[in-house]
Structure 1
Amino acid sequence: MRRLIQAARLTVVPGALLLLAACGSPDTTPATEVAAPAADAGEVNLYTTREPGLIQPLLEAFTAQTGTKVNTVFVRDGLLERVRAEGERSPADVLMTVDTGNLLDLVDGGQTQAIESQVLSAAIPAHLRGGDGQWFALSLRDRVLYADKDLSLDGFTYEQLADPQWKGRVCIRSGQHPYNTSLIAAMIAHDGVERTEAWLRGVKANLARKAAGGDRDVARDILAGICDIGIANAYYVGRMKNEAEGSEQRQWGDAIQVIRPTFAVAGGGTHVNISGTAVARHAPNRDNAVKLLEYLVSDEAQSLYAKANYEYPVKAGVELDPVVASFGEMTVDALPLTEVAKHRRQASELVDRVGFDN
C-alpha cells in the first residue's frame, strides 16, 4: 500500500490524526477536528480503490513529465463513505475506482465536481464519460467468451449462452458479482426485464457447475473438461497467457480462445465495464487533478496502462499488449454506461429470483 506522505502539507493540526486516516487506519476523527488542507502547486492527492502497484508506473511517468508529485491513498472499501466523512477538509483531489456503478455512486453521492476539458472530451467517447463532466472512463474491461481452443466458433452473442445446445457446457462466476450484474443490467437495458429473466433462466439451465469462483476458474474448468465455454473478463487472459511457461495459470490461458460476444440487437456491441476517475468535490489541487486526468488519457499513459493491466484502452489507436491485440478489434456496445447502471438493482433482484447462484 502506498502511503500518503508529507502529510504536513495536507493538514494544519492535528496532523497525526489525518496521517493515520490517509494510511488506511480506522477513521475515528470527526472531520471538524481537522483543518482544511491547503493547495500545493507541486502535488496532487489520489484516492484509489485500485492496488497502487497497478498504476504506479503511470503516476511516476506523470511526475517525471510534469514535476507534479502524486500522493496515493489506497482505499480498499468504502471510498464514498471516506470522502463524505472528510467533507470540505478532504485532501482528495482525484478519485479512481473500478466498476461503473462504484464511480456513479460517487457522483450520485455528491462527492465529485464537473470539469471541462477538450483533451478528455477528444480522447474518451461520449458514452464512456459523464455528459456533465463529472466522471471519465480510463480503461475498459470487456466481458468476453472463454471457449475451448478446439471449438470452431466464428462469433457469438450473449443471447446464445441460453441456447439449449450449450446445456451442461457453460461455466461462470456468481451472478451477484458486479461483473455479471453489470452484464445482466445491460441485457435489461436492451431487452427489458421479462426477456432478460427468460434468458437468465436459460443460462442457468446450461450451467455445467454452480455459478461460483472467479473468472480464471472458468479457464481452469475448461482445461479440466468440466465445461466448454464461459463468460469472463478479457484482461485475465492477458495475465494468464503472460505467466511463465508451464505454470498452472499459463496452462489455463493456453487452453482457451477468446471471442468478443455482442448483443443481438441493432448496433449491439461487446459489453464493457470500466476503471474510471473523477475530480473530488473539494479538491484542494483542482488544476493538478485535471492535469493528471488529461495525462491518463494520453497515448503514453494509455499504452502503459494497457500493457501493465491487459485492459483495453479507452482511447482509440493506442498500442495494445500482444495477447490482447490477438483478440481482434473490439466494437464497444454503444449503450451509455449510465443507462446500464440504472438497472443494477433490477439485475441483482433477477439473479435471486431465478436462483442463479443456487
Structure 2
Amino acid sequence: MLVASFFTGYAQAADKEVNVYSYRQPFLVEPLFDKFTEQTGIKVNVLFAKKGLAERLASEGEYSPADVILTVDISRLTNLVDKGLVQPIDIAEVDENIPAKYRDKENQWVGLTLRARGVYSSRDRVGRLPADFDYFDLADPQWKGRICTRSGKHPYNVSLVAAMIAEHGEAATKTWLEGLKANLARKPQGNDRAQVKAISEGLCDLSLGNSYYLGKMLNDESQKAWADAVYLNFPGQQAQGTHVNVSGVALAKYAPNKANAEQLIAFLTGDVAQHMYSEVNYEHPIKVGVQPSELVQSWGEFKIDSLPLPQIAAHYGDAIRLLDEVQFDL
C-alpha cells in the first residue's frame, strides 16, 4: 500500500489506480482496499493524515491527485462541501445502498457506517440505565459530580448538541448544556476511552462515548478492564432515538481517476465492505440488510434518531456558539 509517493507533481490519470486521502486509520481501511484491488485489479494509493486534508486539497486545486476522500463526522464532510472541494456522487448503486438521510441532499458526500453516541455507566455503582433514559437526563441533579466527557468542542459532541438543537430548539439545549456542565466530575478532557477509564477508576459514574470504542477496548488487553467496568446504553429509546453520526466518503472535485473512484465508492457501500467495517472497527453498517459483527450485535438493537444528518449539520454553528456561551470546556 503506497503512502505518499504519488502525491507530488501534476495529477496524472492512471488506468488501474485510484488515489485516496484518508483520515481513517490504516488498520481499518487497508483490508478494504486490498479486497477492492483483488476484485477489480485497481490499485489503491493512500495518503493517511490526522488533520489538514481540506487545506491540502484547497492548496492543490485542479492539480490535486486526490480522487476519494475518507473521513468521519458530518462536520468534516460538510466542511469539504462548503469549501467547494468535492463533486456530486452520481452512482445508482450507491443511492440504492445508502438511505437518503445518510447522504448529502446533493450527494456531495455519502455515509458509510453509523457511530452511535451512547452513554457508558458504571456496572458497580449504577448498573444499566433505565429503558427511558434520555440525553436530557444527563442534566438531572442526581448526577452532580458524576459525569465525564471529552471536550464539548470535539466534533462528536458538537454533532450531539446540534442534534439537540434540531430536535428541541436552542433555549432547551442551552438549559441542558448548563445542567450537564454542572454535573461534570472534572473539566472536559481526553478522548472517549479516557472517560471509560475514569469510570473504572471511580472518578465518575457516567460518560458520553461512541459505541464502537467498547469493541476497541474489549479487544485491547491494556484497556479490557475499563470496558469490563461499564455498560453501554443507548439513550432516547422511548423518545427520539439515539443520536448517530457517520464515517463517510466524498469524490474529490478534480478527481483524475473518476471512473475508478466511482467503483471504489460503490464497493465501500456494498455488502462486503459494510460487513468488514463492522468486524474491524465495530461500527454499524448503513446498508439495510447487512448484519453487524457478532460483538456489535451483542450490544443489542436500538432505535436510531430519524433526523436526517444534513439537517443536524445545519446547526453546527449554533452548537458551537451555545457551547461557548455556557463555557462548557472551562
Q: Deviations over 1:160-182 (max 9, x none)?
A: 11112222221111111111111
Q: Find out whether 1:72 has 2:40 as its counterpart.
A: no
1:175–1:351 Cα contact (<8 Å) kept: yes
1:158–1:263 Cα contact (<8 Å) kept: no
- Counterpart residue number, 2:147: 170
Secondary structure of 1:59's aligned partner: helix
**Cα distance in structure 2, aligned partners of 1:316 and 1:56:** 24
Range that drifts further, 64-73 or 326-335: 326-335
- Counterpart residue number, 1:216: 193
Q: Deviations over 1:248-274 (max 9, x none)?
A: x10000000111112875xx1211121
- Counterpart residue number, 2:157: 180
Q: Deviations over 1:295-334 (max 9, x none)?
A: 0111111111111111111112323233321111133211
- Counterpart residue number, 2:228: 254
Secondary structure of 2:256's aligned partner: coil
- Counterpart residue number, 1:106: 80
1:2–1:52 Cα contact (<8 Å) kept: no
1:289-328 matched pairs, under 5 angstroms: 289-328=261-300
**Cα distance in structure 1, aligned partners of 2:298 and 2:218:** 11
The code of the aligned residue for 2:60 comes to: E
**Cα distance in structure 2, aligned partners of 1:133 and 1:182:** 20
The code of the aligned residue for 2:34 comes to: E
- Counterpart residue number, 2:3: 3
Work out the number of aligned pairs and report it: 327
Q: Find out whether 1:91 has 2:65 as its counterpart.
A: yes
2:237–2:302 Cα contact (<8 Å) kept: no
Q: Deviations over 1:214-247 (max 9, x none)?
A: 2112211211222221111111110111223xx3
Residue 348 (structure 1) aligned to one of 304, 320, 324 = 320
Secondary structure of 1:132's aligned partner: coil
**Cα distance in structure 2, aligned partners of 1:144 and 1:134:** 28
**Cα distance in structure 1, aligned partners of 2:58 and 2:203:** 46
Which of the pair has the greater relative contact order for Cα pairs under 8 Å at 6+ separation? 2
The code of the aligned residue for 1:40 comes to: A
Aligned structure 1 segments of 4 or more residues deviating by more than 3 angstroms? none
- Counterpart residue number, 1:243: 220
**Cα distance in structure 2, aligned partners of 1:180 and 1:213:** 13
1:152 offset after TM fit, Å? 4.1
Distance 1:158 1:264, change over 3 A: farther
- Counterpart residue number, 1:129: 103
Secondary structure of 1:71's aligned partner: strand
2:128–2:233 Cα contact (<8 Å) kept: no
The code of the aligned residue for 2:65 comes to: P
Q: TM-score, normalised by structure 1?
A: 0.87
The code of the aligned residue for 1:81 comes to: E
1:159–1:263 Cα contact (<8 Å) kept: no
Secondary structure of 2:236's aligned partner: coil
**Cα distance in structure 1, aligned partners of 2:194 and 2:52:** 27
2:87–2:252 Cα contact (<8 Å) kept: yes
2:121–2:128 Cα contact (<8 Å) kept: no
Pairwise CA RMSD: 1.7
Q: Find out whether 1:270 has 2:242 as its counterpart.
A: yes
1:158–1:264 Cα contact (<8 Å) kept: no
Q: Find out whether 1:153 has 2:125 as its counterpart.
A: no
**Cα distance in structure 1, aligned partners of 2:303 and 2:101:** 13
Distance 1:40 1:356, change over 3 A: same
Secondary structure of 2:15's aligned partner: coil
Q: Deviations over 1:16-55 (max 9, x none)?
A: xx53xxxxxxxxxxxxxx54x3322211111112222321
**Cα distance in structure 2, aligned partners of 1:256 and 1:46:** 37
Range that drifts further, 220-229 or 140-149: 220-229
**Cα distance in structure 2, aligned partners of 1:349 and 1:2:** 41
**Cα distance in structure 1, aligned partners of 2:181 and 2:314:** 24
**Cα distance in structure 1, aligned partners of 2:185 and 2:116:** 23
1:3–1:73 Cα contact (<8 Å) kept: yes
The code of the aligned residue for 1:225 comes to: G
Range that drifts further, 80-89 or 195-204: 80-89
**Cα distance in structure 2, aligned partners of 1:195 and 1:79:** 35
- Counterpart residue number, 1:40: 14
1:60 offset after TM fit, Å? 0.2
Structure number with bigger Rg? 1
1:27-66 matched pairs, under 5 angstroms: 34-35=9-10, 37-66=11-40
The code of the aligned residue for 1:137 comes to: G
1:93–1:280 Cα contact (<8 Å) kept: yes
1:197–1:354 Cα contact (<8 Å) kept: yes
1:2 offset after TM fit, Å? 4.7
